[in-house]
């Protein structure tokens, strides 16, 4: 017998790009009684996550989406809107320094994120909220104020042509990652003040520190000693978990954060504080 667990109609929609452990932890935290649209480039990942969440009582649909492709991202946003009022959007798609070239990081973590912000800025329901997953790395490379002013006012499709991106971010994967993640903050600020504001929706970013996820082991395996020193120098003296990020995300996406938009929440156990206080040095 095929059972119907929820006969509610016109459910609020939760859309996620990047069906990894952090993104799905966030969705699980907020999506009870709602319609979930999972997007990922991997059909196998979508099938595995969808089956798991469906067996736990969630109402899930999936769609293959290539976060690097503007048309694909826009199609995903349109599909979300067809399912019902899009009240929540979460973007966790990205590649870390030891996973990809500078070009790929800029194209995925920065430009691809911009595509998503732009696309969902056309479909969010009034009162909705979005969240981009950035990184503590956004605080590790100060971008000159005049460059930030240029970047925050540059359309997504033109970002790669900005001299700072072309000449600095492309030097190596580490720089590309730090700069792309800072640009995520700027993308949320621009959207909060323009397209998302016009739809009466909010958008923020979270910058996690060292959080243990399956994908993070690529970084640990490549630079475990550096990450260990970072953990040891932090006030928390431990790594974080996806569930901790999900708790903070639920707040920023929820009704109690209705006055918060265009801002970043750093959740790093005190790593950036240790760097600024001279207790830990990068490199």
What's the CATH fold of domain 13-211+241-267? Rossmann fold (3.40.50)
For this structure, is 217 an active site residue?
no
For this structure, is 88 an active site residue?
no
Q: Nearest-CA neighbor of 176 among 148, 140, 209?
A: 140
Residue 277 has pLDDT above 70, yes or no: yes
Neighbours of 236 (CB within 10 A): 13
Q: Nearest-CA neighbor of 36 among 44, 51, 201?
A: 51
Give the start-end residues of each E strand in the chain: 13-17, 35-40, 59-64, 86-91, 124-133, 202-208, 211-212, 240-241, 264-267
Report residue 100 CA to chain centroid gap. Answer: 17
Question: Which of the residues 181, 217, 227, 280 is marked catalytic?
Answer: 181
As given in the structure block, the two tokens for residue 93 are 């798609």
Report the pLDDT value the prediction gives residue 124, as an integer from 0 to 100: 98
Task: Label residue 3 by pLDDT band (50, 70, 90).
Answer: low
Q: What is the pTM of this model?
A: 0.94
Report the SS3 class of residue 40.
strand
For the chain, the domains span: 13-211+241-267
Report the pLDDT value the prediction gives residue 86, as an integer from 0 to 100: 98
Question: Which of the residues 177, 217, 227, 280 is marked catalytic?
Answer: 177
Residue 2 has pLDDT above 90, yes or no: no
Distance CA 265, CA 82 (A): 31
């Amino acid at each position: 017998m095929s059972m119907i667990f929820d006969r509610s109609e016109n459910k609020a929609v939760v859309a996620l790009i990047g069906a990894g452990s952090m993104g799905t932890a966030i969705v699980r935290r907020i999506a009870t009684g709602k319609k979930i649209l999972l997007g990922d480039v991997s059909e196998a990942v979508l099938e595995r996550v969808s089956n798991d969440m469906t067996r736990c009582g969630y109402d899930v649909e999936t769609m293959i989406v290539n976060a690097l492709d503007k048309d694909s991202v826009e199609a995903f946003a349109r599909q979300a809107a067809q399912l019902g009022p899009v009240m929540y959007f979460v973007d966790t798609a990205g590649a870390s320094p030891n996973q990809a070239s500078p070009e790929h990081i800029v194209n995925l973590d920065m430009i691809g994120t911009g595509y998503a912000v732009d696309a969902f800025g056309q479909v969010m329901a009034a009162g909705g909220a979005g969240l981009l997953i950035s990184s503590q790395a956004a605080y590790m490379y100060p971008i000159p104020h005049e460059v930030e002013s240029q970047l925050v006012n540059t359309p997504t499709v033109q970002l790669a042509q900005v001299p700072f991106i072309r000449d600095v971010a492309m030097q190596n994967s580490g720089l590309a990652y730090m700069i792309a993640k800072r640009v995520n903050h700027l993308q949320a600020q621009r959207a909060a003040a323009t397209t998302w504001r016009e739809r009466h929706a909010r958008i923020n970013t979270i910058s996690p520190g060292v959080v243990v996820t399956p994908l993070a082991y690529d970084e640990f395996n490549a630079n475990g000693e550096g990450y260990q020193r970072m953990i040891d120098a932090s006030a928390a003296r431990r790594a974080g978990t996806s569930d901790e990020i999900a708790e903070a995300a639920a707040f920023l996406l929820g009704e109690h954060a209705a006055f918060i938009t265009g801002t970043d929440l750093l959740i790093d156990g005190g790593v950036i504080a240790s760097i600024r206080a001279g207790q830990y040095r990068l490199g």
